[in-house]
Amino acid sequence: MSRGRKSASVSRGRPSVDVRFRLEAVSDVVLAREWYDEQRPGLGGDSVRSLEDAVDVIAEFPEAFPEIAAGHRRAILRRFPYFLYYRIGDDGVEVLACLHGARSPSVWRSRG
């Protein structure tokens, strides 16, 4: 799940950054999508679109979301009680986890 953004955005003229997902974060997304699809067919796709919207914001404005620990930020997904935990590095953004808001912060902390 890499959303490469090295070129400038045509619509806004802003440079964007690469957003890469760690393997564990990809697994988080797959599990959440499967769970939502079990609840209602198509809802999993809605959750992924909400995640993609958050990733688009992160790619254009990596510092838009609050820093919750030294070097780590948290984006809240729209419509879904999930957070994207990420860090900004010299070569782009690395998403560490995509977790339900009720999950313990120790989960993402153990990843980076």
Q: Which pair of tokens denotes residue 17? A: 């950054």
* Percent of the chain surpassing pLDDT 90: 77
Mean pLDDT of 98-111: 86
**Confidence grade of residue 1 (pLDDT, cut at 50, 70, 90):** low
- Residue 108 confidence (pLDDT): 78
For domain 19-107, give the CATH superfamily: RelE-like (3.30.2310.20)
pTM of the model as a whole: 0.83
Q: Which pair of tokens denotes residue 15? A: 């440079």
- Residue 68 confidence (pLDDT): 95
Boundaries of every domain in the chain: 19-107
Mean pLDDT of 1-21: 59
Helix axes 23-39, 43-60, angle to 10 degrees: 140
Minimal CA–CA distance to 33: which of 72, 65, 68, 1? 1
Which one is predicted more confidently, 98 or 107?
Answer: 98
Neighbours of 104 (CB within 10 A): 9
User: Which residues in 55-92 are b (16+ Cβ under 10 Å) and which e?
Assistant: beebbeebeebeeeeeebbbbebeebebbbbbbbeeeb
